[in-house]
C-alpha cells in the first residue's frame, strides 16, 4: 500500500463525512439581545497521531501503524477499531521491544502487558494490566470495553477473560532478543544490593539505564509503549495505549498505560492525550486528564502538554530521579489532539512522534521541555 493516502479516496471520504452541522454564534449579539444561532457546516481534517514507533514498525507488511489506522479511519471504520488495528502492527512485530510480543519482560523474565482504550463518541473505556500470554493486549482492552461493565481487568483475571473471549494464550511472549537482553540485565545487577530494597531498586534502574547508554536498548523503549489517537472526518475521537511497560519492572507493577487519565484520556468533545515514557511520573500527575482539561479551558494542544510537563518536573523532587544538574533522568512524551484536528507531540527531552494526515505518514519533532538530555551522572 502506498504511504501517501490516495487523494481521490480522501476527498470522497472527507466530503461524505462532513460533520453534522454545529450551532454557534456567528455574529455579535446586538446589545441586550441574544446572538442569532446560525447553522455552520464544519469539516474536521482527519489525523492519527502516535508515538514514533507508530511510524517505524510494519510487522513484515508495507505500511506503518499510523498509516494503517488512518487508511481504515477515512475508509469509514470505527475510529477505535482503526487505531487498534494500527497499534496491533507494533504489538505483533517482534522488533518492537516496547510493546506486545517481544516486549521487554519484568524482573523475572516474564512479559506482562498493559493497555487501555477510550471511545469518545460512545463514552466507553476498557483496559487490562499485567496481562500475560496475549500478544495484542489492546484488543483485550477493547473487549473489556465492549463486553463488560468494568474498565480494568488485571493479571490472571484478565488472562481468563481473554481466554473466554477466544484469544489464544501463549506460554511465553519473549523473543530471543527480549530474553537475551533480560539475561544481560540480570548479569549486571549487583547481588549485594539485594540487601537494601532502596539500593536494590536504584541498582536495577541504573543497570537498565546503563544498557540504554551502551546502546542495547533505545532510550524511548526502556519505558516502552505505543499510544495512538485519532479524529475522523466526522470529528469522532478515540485513543489507545498499549505497552510491555518498564523493562525489568517488579512483577505485578502496573504503569500508566492502562490507567484512564494517566496513559490515555479521551473526551469526545474536547480531544485526546496519551503518553509514553516513565509511567510513575505520569501516574502521580494524571497528566493525560490534565492535558484534556487544559484544552477544555482553551489551551492549544502544545501549550496544554507543556503545562503538564512543567507540573511533572515540579513534582519530581527525589534525588534518585534527578541528574546532578537538576533535570529529570527520565523521558516522558505526550501525543495530543483536539476536536478541531489540531495536534502536537511534547516531551521532556527531544524525540519524535508519528502523524498520518492526507499527506501520508511522517515523523515530526516533539516540542521539548529541555533542549538536551543531561550528561549522565
Where do contacts with ligand GLY occur on this chain (CB under 6 A)? Answer: 223-225, 243, 245-246, 255-257, 276-279
Smaller CB separation from ligand GLY, 97 or 257 = 257
CB of 11 to ligand GLY, least distance (A): 37
Q: Which residues pair with 56 in a beta bridge?
A: none
Terminal-residue alpha carbon distance, the chain: 46
Task: Decide: helix, strand or coil at residue 186.
Answer: helix
How many Å apart are CA 118 and CA 268, to the nearest integer? 9
CB of 136 to ligand GLY, least distance (A): 17
Is 64 one of the catalytic residues?
Answer: no
CB within 8 A of 18, min separation 6: which ones?
Answer: 41, 42, 43, 233
27: alpha, beta or left, given left = phi > 0 and alpha = psi -120 to 50? beta
Active-site residue, from 97, 225, 241, 316? 225
> CB of 354 within 8 A of CB of 52?
yes
CB of 20 to ligand GLY, least distance (A): 36
Work out whether the CA dihedral 156, 162, 166, 170 comes out positive or negative.
Answer: negative
CB of 280 to ligand GLY, least distance (A): 7
Task: Decide: helix, strand or coil at residue 127.
Answer: strand
Q: Which ranges constitute the DSSP H helices of the chain? A: 7-16, 65-74, 79-92, 137-147, 155-164, 176-188, 197-213, 279-285, 287-296, 301-315
CB of 6 to ligand GLY, least distance (A): 34
How many Å apart are CA 227 and CA 100, to the nearest integer? 13
- Helix 176-188 to helix 197-213 angle (10° resolution) is 130
CB of 357 to ligand GLY, least distance (A): 26
What is the maximum span of the chain, computed from C-alpha positions, in angstroms? 77
Burial (CB < 10 A; 0-12, 13-18, 19+), residue 206, is middle
Smaller CB separation from ligand GLY, 233 or 261 = 261
CB of 246 to ligand GLY, least distance (A): 5
How many Å apart are CA 275 and CA 188, to the nearest integer? 29
Smaller CB separation from ligand GLY, 100 or 277 = 277
Q: Which residues are catalytic?
A: 225
Amino acid at each position: 500500500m502506498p504511504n501517501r493516502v490516495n487523494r481521490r479516496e480522501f476527498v470522497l471520504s472527507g466530503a461524505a463525512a462532513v460533520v453534522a452541522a454545529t450551532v454557534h454564534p456567528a455574529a455579535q449579539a446586538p446589545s441586550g439581545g441574544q446572538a442569532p444561532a446560525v447553522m455552520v457546516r464544519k469539516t474536521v481534517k482527519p489525523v492519527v497521531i502516535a508515538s514514533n514507533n507508530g511510524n517505524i514498525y510494519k510487522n513484515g507488511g508495507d505500511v506503518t501503524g499510523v498509516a494503517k489506522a488512518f487508511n481504515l479511519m477515512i475508509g469509514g471504520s470505527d475510529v477505535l477499531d482503526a487505531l487498534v488495528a494500527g497499534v496491533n502492527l507494533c504489538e505483533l512485530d517482534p522488533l518492537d521491544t516496547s510493546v506486545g510480543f517481544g516486549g521487554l519482560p519484568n524482573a523475572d523474565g516474564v512479559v506482562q502487558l498493559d493497555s487501555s482504550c477510550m471511545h469518545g463518541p460512545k463514552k466507553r473505556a476498557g483496559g487490562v494490566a499485567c496481562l500475560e500470554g496475549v500478544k495484542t493486549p489492546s484488543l483485550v482492552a477493547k473487549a473489556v470495553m465492549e463486553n463488560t461493565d468494568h474498565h480494568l481487568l488485571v493479571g490472571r483475571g484478565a488472562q481468563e477473560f481473554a481466554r473466554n473471549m477466544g484469544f489464544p494464550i501463549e506460554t511465553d511472549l519473549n523473543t530471543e532478543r527480549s530474553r537475551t537482553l533480560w539475561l544481560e540485565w540480570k548479569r549486571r545487577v549487583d547481588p549485594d544490593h539485594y540487601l537494601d530494597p532502596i539500593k536494590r531498586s536504584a541498582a536495577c534502574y541504573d543497570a537498565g539505564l546503563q544498557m540504554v547508554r551502551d546502546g542495547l536498548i533505545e532510550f524511548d523503549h526502556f519505558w516502552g509503549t505505543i499510544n495512538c489517537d485519532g479524529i475522523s472526518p466526522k470529528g469522532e475521537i478515540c485513543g489507545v495505549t498499549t505497552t510491555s511497560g518498564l523493562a525489568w519492572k517488579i512483577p505485578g507493577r502496573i504503569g500508566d498505560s492502562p490507567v484512564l487519565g494517566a496513559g490515555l484520556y479521551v473526551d469526545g468533545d474536547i480531544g485526546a492525550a496519551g503518553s509514553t515514557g516513565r509511567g510513575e511520573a505520569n501516574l502521580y500527575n494524571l497528566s493525560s486528564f490534565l492535558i484534556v482539561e487544559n484544552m477544555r479551558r482553551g489551551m492549544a494542544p502544545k501549550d496544554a502538554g507543556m503545562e503538564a510537563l512543567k507540573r511533572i518536573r515540579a513534582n519530581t523532587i527525589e534525588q534518585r530521579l534527578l541528574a546532578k544538574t537538576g533535570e529529570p533522568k527520565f523521558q516522558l512524551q505526550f501525543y495530543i489532539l483536539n476536536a478541531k484536528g489540531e495536534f502536537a507531540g511534547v516531551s521532556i527531552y527531544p524525540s519524535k512522534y508519528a502523524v498520518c494526515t492526507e499527506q501520508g505518514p511522517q515523523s515530526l519533532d516533539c516540542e521539548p521541555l529541555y533542549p538536551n538530555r543531561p550528561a549522565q551522572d
